[in-house]
Chains A and B, each alone.
Chain A
Amino acid sequence: MSDGLGLWTVPLAVVGGAIRVSTPFLFVSLGETITERSGRINLGLEGTLVFGAMAAYATAVMTGSPWAGVAVAGLAGGLFGLLHGFVCKFPRVNDVAIGIALMLFGSGLAFFLGKPFIQPSAPPLPAIGFGAWSDLPQVQAALRVNVLFLIGAALSVALWWGLRNTRAGLVLRVVGDSADAARAMGYDVDHVRLLATGLGGVLAGIGGAYLSLYYPGSWNEGVSSGQGLMAVALVIFARWNPLACFGAALLFGGAGALGPALQSVGVSQGYYLFYAAPYVLTLALLVATSSPDRALAGAPGELSLSK
């Protein structure tokens, strides 16, 4: 039966991969959306992602509970976010450069503290099988959906709704679009940005927990291959809209799964080139959606990226 699938294995593996690979993209891009909507950009989420992966794995090894790992990863990510938010409030401190520094610092600290945890194995996060209706093991494998993916999907809807319809969402958007207007309304701009960056860090940390506790499901120094940074580009492509982030994350996940899928049907030529597919896709989308003449549609007015 499984041999009869033939080339259908590839799209199936891409769909399954999209679901499996997209979760870190989803969490980081949702976090970055919150941060960027407040008018700051945090490029350090790559470092936060790696640190979250380490913190989650180490906690899960020590406590035996993957959910404790997720909680600690979120907490650690939040601390990194708060650090970024705090430092950037000082005049002449560049948020992009601080992000690069945090990228180095977060990964470095994760490698440093995570050295003893490369060997032991941690309990993985649970997944729900939605493929029981099919006899095909490939379909069942592709439709095994992790709980965090479902939480992320729900979160993107909730954020999309919350940004439009809640007071907190309104304040966040005002701060991001015009700091002067927010000050005139009596809001503390730095405080809102601090919280938004902290919350963005929490989500990025949870994205990291998914990396080490589900897919690829181990902790080592190559656990992230730039997902944190690609997610920042993804936010631009998704036009700072949480719902669009969900779709874009699936697209990026599919692109990331293309290489391994083609390899599994025996296409071994250009193996490394397929690994570059997500980066090429990101760059192509950035080029296609950017414009030198006008600010990007939907971009927060205070964002240094779009000025």
Chain B
Amino acid sequence: MVADTAPSSLTVAPSRSSASLCIRAWLARRSEAVAIPVGAAALGFLLFGLFLAALGKSPVQLVDIVWRGGFGSPFALGNSLQRAAPLLFAALCVALPARLGLVVIGGEGAIVLGGLAAAAAAQPLAALPALLAVPLMACAAALVGAVWIGSVGWLQAYRGVNATISSLLLSYIAIALANHLIEGPLRDPTSLNKPSTLPVGDAFMLGPMPVIGVHWGLGCGVIACLIAYGLMDRTTLGFAARIAGGNVRAAQIQGLPVGRLIVGFTALGGAFAALAGFFEVVAVQGTANGTLAAGYGYTGILVAFLARQNPIAIVPVAFLLGGIEASSGLIQRRMQLPDATVLVLEGLLFLIVLMSETLYGRFKLFNPHLWAEKRAPAPPSPVLA
């Protein structure tokens, strides 16, 4: 169990100054948010190791391969970071609406349409200098994504349609629409085996970032996470969203514009997801084609839940999962395992981390309001569930 991190004897001596107690209480609360997900993820890896062992494969070899394929060399690291970039954006598409209590799982559709919009916008903008045209392409992508996922929020707020279901349906519709456009009106006639749109052109392609050598989507993704963190935790808008997510009635009585908050946060999430598609087109593929629907939207859901919808935590989690997915090919070749191996691991991690939600507030180590319990009856808990 995860509880093994808790020391057995933890008492608060009465002589301690209240300042040090405050610091320790603050540290305890903070470390709970790290220790429980990390412990849960460790348990998930352990169970997956047992699963592999039961199939006669070596879990130790898997760890070794994931390390070498995802993190061990500059090349592997670059590969992982390149995969992490779309995951950052896709996870924000889950985390931002989650602040309002919405479970949006249709980021894949926004990614595909965003990439398509960027590629389509490149043609009329071809005469402009790249410095002007590329941001405009990003805007086109973001706009399409914002409308697409924003309509999920609008349907929830004003029509009462469940966002989880409508977002996934819209994602299927988006992929069908993109397939139609890529194989029909927007198809490059010279793309025979792999239907694609016209290439955006070398002038509009983004190069790698200095020093890191990974495309700009990574840097922009990290910045997007920081912006989302600032918005959610440092502005009144984010505070209002959190109130609305906790209790809609209370928020309405306070006079908060719940409907507009929902539409705004879902639209912003959709815009971010669409930027993942934009970067895939202008930094990796060069055209919009079927590989846009590579499953980043679905892995992004996992990233957001593993990060417990915290935009800062999304950065390391996206890096970890990017690395695991980057080593997928090596796992197949070296261990003769199917390509779905990573899916099984991801599903298992997802399940265990969701289950670990029930552990918050249970461990004495992390919950200062439980410390004094032996001496006096506990004061009413100030921590809201």
Residues of A within 8 A of B (CB): 43, 87, 90-94, 96-98, 100-102, 104-112, 115, 221, 225-226, 229-230, 232-233, 236, 269-273, 275-276, 279-280, 282-283, 286-287, 290-293, 305
Question: How many Å from the CB of B133 to the closest CB on chain A?
Answer: 29
Q: Which residues of A contact B373 (CB under 8 A)?
A: none
- Of B21-29, B237-245, B335-343, B376-384, which binds chain A? B335-343
Please state if B166 and A94 are interface contacts (CB–CB under 8 Å): no
Q: Which residue of B lies closest to A115 (CB)?
A: B338
Interface status of B161 (Cβ within 8 A of chain A): yes
Please state if A92 and B357 are interface contacts (CB–CB under 8 Å): yes
For chain B, the count of residues having a C-beta within 8 Å of the partner chain is 45
9 CB < 8 A contacts A-B:
A43-B164, A92-B360, A97-B305, A101-B350, A101-B351, A102-B351, A270-B184, A283-B170, A290-B161
Closest 3 CB pairs of A and B: A105-B347, A108-B343, A111-B340
Please state if A292 and B158 are interface contacts (CB–CB under 8 Å): yes
Partner of B103, one of A92, A96, A107, A115: A96
Please state if A283 and B166 are interface contacts (CB–CB under 8 Å): yes
Q: Which residues of B contact A112 (CB under 8 A)?
A: 337-338, 340-341, 343-344
Please state if B172 and A276 are interface contacts (CB–CB under 8 Å): yes
Interface status of B155 (Cβ within 8 A of chain A): yes
Please state if A90 and B358 are interface contacts (CB–CB under 8 Å): yes
Q: Which residue of A lies closest to B178 (CB)?
A: A272
Q: Which residue of B lies closest to A293 (CB)?
A: B160
CA distance A112 to B340 in the complex (A): 5
CA distance A291 to B161 in the complex (A): 7
Please state if B161 and A286 are interface contacts (CB–CB under 8 Å): yes
Please state if B351 and A105 are interface contacts (CB–CB under 8 Å): yes
Scan residues 264-307 of chain B and give those whose CB is less than 8 A from a CB of chain A: 298, 301-302, 305
Residues of B within 8 A of A (CB): 103, 105, 155, 157-162, 164-166, 168-170, 172-173, 176-177, 179-180, 183-184, 298, 301-302, 305, 337-341, 343-344, 346-348, 350-351, 354-355, 357-358, 360, 385
Partner of A226, one of B161, B168, B347: B168
Q: Which residues of B contact A98 (CB under 8 A)?
A: 351, 354-355
Q: Which residues of B contact A92 (CB under 8 A)?
A: 357-358, 360, 385
Partner of B164, one of A90, A96, A269: A96
* A283 in contact with B173 given A92-B357, A226-B168, A273-B180 (CB within 8 Å): yes
Question: How many Å from the CB of B191 to the closest CB on chain A?
Answer: 16
Please state if A93 and B161 are interface contacts (CB–CB under 8 Å): no
Please state if A97 and B346 are interface contacts (CB–CB under 8 Å): no
Please state if A93 and B358 are interface contacts (CB–CB under 8 Å): yes
Please state if A292 and B159 are interface contacts (CB–CB under 8 Å): yes
Q: Which residues of B contact A293 (CB under 8 A)?
A: 160
Q: Which residues of B contact A101 (CB under 8 A)?
A: 305, 347, 350-351, 354
Please state if A93 and B301 are interface contacts (CB–CB under 8 Å): no
Q: Which residues of B contact A290 (CB under 8 A)?
A: 159-162
Please state if B159 and A287 are interface contacts (CB–CB under 8 Å): yes
Please state if B355 and A104 are interface contacts (CB–CB under 8 Å): no
Q: Which residues of B contact A270 (CB under 8 A)?
A: 180, 184
* A97 in contact with B354 given A106-B347, A272-B183, A287-B161 (CB within 8 Å): yes
CA distance A92 to B361 in the complex (A): 11
Name, among A101, A269, A276, A282, the residue most crowded by chain B CB atoms within 10 Å (CB to CB).
A101
Q: Which residues of A contact B340 (CB under 8 A)?
A: 108-112, 115, 221
Q: Which residue of A lies closest to B347 (CB)?
A: A105
Please state if B165 and A273 are interface contacts (CB–CB under 8 Å): no
Q: Which residues of A contact B165 (CB under 8 A)?
A: 229, 232-233, 236, 286
Q: Which residues of A contact B157 (CB under 8 A)?
A: 292
Q: Which residues of A contact B164 (CB under 8 A)?
A: 43, 96, 100
CA distance A41 to B373 in the complex (A): 38
CA distance A109 to B341 in the complex (A): 8
Given contacts A107-B347, A273-B176, 20 further A-B contacts (CB under 8 A): A43-B164, A87-B354, A101-B305, A101-B347, A105-B344, A105-B350, A108-B340, A109-B344, A109-B347, A111-B338, A112-B340, A221-B340, A233-B165, A272-B180, A273-B180, A279-B176, A280-B173, A290-B159, A290-B161, A292-B159
Q: Which residues of A contact B105 (CB under 8 A)?
A: 100
Please state if B343 and A104 are interface contacts (CB–CB under 8 Å): yes
